[in-house]
Every structure is written in C-alpha cells, then in structure tokens.
Amino acid sequence: MQLLGKKSLASKLLTLVNLALILVFIGLIGMVIFVSYFLLAEELPAVASSGISLQGPGLIVHLESEGALEIGYSFFTTQLLLAIPLILMVLFILYKLRFILSSLKNENPFSPDNPVHIRHIGYGIIATVVVSSIAEGIAGYHLSPIISEKFPQLSWQAFSPDLTGIFFGLLILILSEVFRQGTELKKDQEFTV
C-alpha cells in the first residue's frame, strides 16, 4: 500500500478529514443554535429521565428508576456550554491534521510547517482532554446526589480524569520536537553543496 503521494493512504485520509471538518463545522453551527435556543427559551423544557445508562467497554447497563430522575437545568446548561469549546477544539485538531495530510499527499513530509502543526495538535489534544474532564467532573457533581438517592446500592466513581489522553498529548508534543529536528537535518542536507 502506498502511504505518501497522490492516490495514497494519506490522500484518502485527507478526503476523510475534509469531510469530517465540514460535518463538525455544521455540528458546531447546530450546537450554537441549539444552545442559544435553550438559554433564551422563556419556558425551560422539563428535564427528566426514567433511568440511567452505564457504559463500559463491551457493555452497556441500563438501570430503570421507580420514579423519574429530576435533573437540574444548570447541569444541561454547563454541559452544553462546554460542548462548544470541545467542538471548536476538534475542529482545530482536524484543521491542523489537514495541513499535515496535505503535505504527505504532496510527498513533502518534512515541510517546515509540519512540526508546528504537530505541536498544535498535541496542545489541542491536551486541551480537549482537560475540558472534557471538567465537563465529566461537573456532570458527576450534579448527578451523584440524584443517583445516590435513587440507587443507594450502586457504588460508583464520580470523576476520573483521562490520563491516557494527556499522555498521548504529551507524546505528540515530544514527537513534534523530534520532527522539528528531522526538518532541520533535511534543510542542512538540502543546503549542503
């Protein structure tokens, strides 16, 4: 399989990333409209659920409660407001990824801009993980009293930050520096007469 150049894997991934960029952008506009409507609505929608779903790798457990679970309006407001920066960060990462894949398609992997784009992706991943951890923490804070009341036999952890995501973000930052040094070596080679 050809990895670099036209009609290569990089080229196909670039098409996918372009498509994802358009979809995420449409999703962002939809989310902004929805949040605006939600925040500006004079009569707030009633927020209730008949149970909770617990999702793990390969398993989804749905627990039905006897009465409806009343979930506060502030929970949804903060979650929706945090969704916008998260979508923006995903857009930013896809946008930077597009530049890298484009240079791979043009068979120029050691483009001087690529280390900067890779570093930005690293920062983007770390920021995404931090914001999503904050969103999960807030969700846990709001939901824990409700769930403890309805399901007293259930033992659970309200907040667990995604350390794997932070690890990969940091790893990408290190790789960007390795790539920068590679780019410098290529420049040295090009300007050796």
Partner 1 sequence: MPILIHLDRVMVERGISLTELAEKVGITLANLSILKNNKARAIRLNTLEALCRELNCQPGDLLVYLPNSEEEKAKE
Amino acid residing at 161: P
| 6 is an interface residue for partner 1 by CB under 8 A | no
Q: Which stretch binds partner 1 (CB under 8 A): 123-131, 140-148, 152-160, 184-192?
A: 184-192
Closest CA relative to residue 51, chosen from 150, 126, 140, 163: 150
Is 157 or 192 the residue whose CB approaches partner 1 more closely? 192
| 37 is an interface residue for partner 1 by CB under 8 A | no
Contact status, residue 129 vs residue 90, Cβ threshold 8 Å: no
170: how many CB neighbours lie within 10 A of its CB?
13
- Per-residue mark of binding to partner 1, 132-171 (x: CB under 8 A): ----------------------------------------
| 187 is an interface residue for partner 1 by CB under 8 A | yes
| 46 is an interface residue for partner 1 by CB under 8 A | no
| 181 is an interface residue for partner 1 by CB under 8 A | no
Is 37 or 191 the residue whose CB approaches partner 1 more closely? 191
Is 43 or 188 the residue whose CB approaches partner 1 more closely? 188
CB-based burial label for 154 (10 Å; 0-12, 13-18, 19+):
exposed
Contact status, residue 62 vs residue 51, Cβ threshold 8 Å: yes
User: Torsions phi, psi of 44, nearest 5?
Assistant: -75, 145
